[in-house]
Amino acid sequence: MTYWTTMIVGRLAQTAMVAWTIVTMCFVFVHVLPGDTALRIAEARGGAEFLNVGRAEEIASEEGLNRPILLQYGEWIRRLATGDLGVSLVSGQSVTSELWYRGQNTLVLGIVGWLASHLVALPIGICAALRPRGWVDKLSSFYCVTMASLPSFLMGIGLISIFALSLRWLPPAGFRSPEHLILPAATLALGLSAFSIRLIRDTVREVNGAFFITFARTKGLTASMALWQNGWRNAAIPIVAFAALQFAAVVDGFIMIETLFNFPGLGDLLVSSMLARDVPMVMGAGLVAAVGYGLVNLAADLTSLALDPRISQRDQRRATFR
């Protein structure tokens, strides 16, 4: 097997282990929460107004909630092995189709927010690095501290107040058209860019002071030419690794942003399913989040390898010496 194949297989196995752990934890947490699961599901199905112990007992019997916990867990794992995530205990809809619908929304929001954050962070971070302590550096530093310390729900409320309620340029909530994506994506992007700008600035500055850049300058290249031709690939490696790490933060952010903007995504689904004790849906959402996180990190590793083949050579040398 080549180094790449070994690495991909290893990471996929690791992702599978992480996913299994997360799903098992979801199952355990839902069952150790205080309160009767069948009653919660009855409440989620029909609302508090129509809550009824008789109905809860019917649900427990229909859905097999009275069976031993380990049997329920084993049944879910067995179904998962055949690719079947089951049906929601609340809506009766297929978990897979619900996750697909919600996952699409979250993925689009995440991609647009992440791209927008890097559209902001890359030029500002590079400019700040090229002129340390210049006005761009100072302003960007102020921007980063402000944005990083501002909770995303406050940022979202601020954007809604300005662009939806005062200027009336954009809708404040919902999911009917591409315009409905702008404010939630901007909320996500502003938060993410605060961290990316500083990382890009520090990385580019470090690369800019490296020996190979000085050497390129002595050959007669301008500072920007030297950076463009010799520096970007070196600078990109930590930035890519950090972007993958940001994915975890994005999952947290989605929960708040999707609630604030009434956006039907995975974060919103996870919270409502947890409250309703919708076990198959919670486990399905946990599975998707864990696999997504694993795949994003795998993509980051592959990108780093593509950018810097020395990583594979170094790893192979280490393996040989061991």
Decide if residue 44 touches another protein (CB under 8 A): yes
Nearest Cα residue to 37 out of 45, 315, 310: 45
Question: Smallest gap, in angstroms, from Cβ of residue 172 to another protein?
Answer: 4
Of residues 260 and 279, the one with the C-beta less far from another protein: 260
The Cα–Cα gap between 115 and 107 comes to 12
The Cα–Cα gap between 199 and 210 comes to 17
Which residue among 80, 130, 150, 173 contacts another protein (CB under 8 A)?
Answer: 173
The Cα–Cα gap between 122 and 196 comes to 8
Binding positions for another protein, 72-111, rule CB under 8 A: 90-93, 98, 101, 103-105, 107-108, 111
Binding positions for another protein, 198-257, rule CB under 8 A: none
Decide if residue 181 touches another protein (CB under 8 A): yes
Which residue among 61, 262, 313, 316 contacts another protein (CB under 8 A)?
Answer: 262
Decide if residue 293 touches another protein (CB under 8 A): no
- Point out which span in 6-14, 17-25, 37-45, 244-252 binds another protein (CB under 8 A): 37-45
Task: Supply the Cα-derived Rg of the chain in whole angstroms.
Answer: 24
Decide if residue 313 touches another protein (CB under 8 A): no
Within 8 A by CB and 6+ apart from 247, the residues are 110, 292, 293, 296, 297
Decide if residue 165 touches another protein (CB under 8 A): yes
User: Whose structure tokens read 């996952």?
Assistant: 103
The Cα–Cα gap between 194 and 196 comes to 6
CA terminus-to-terminus distance, the chain: 19
Residues in contact with another protein by the rule CB under 8 A: 35-36, 39-40, 42-56, 90-93, 98, 101, 103-105, 107-108, 111, 160, 164-165, 168, 171-178, 181, 259-262, 264, 272, 275, 303, 306
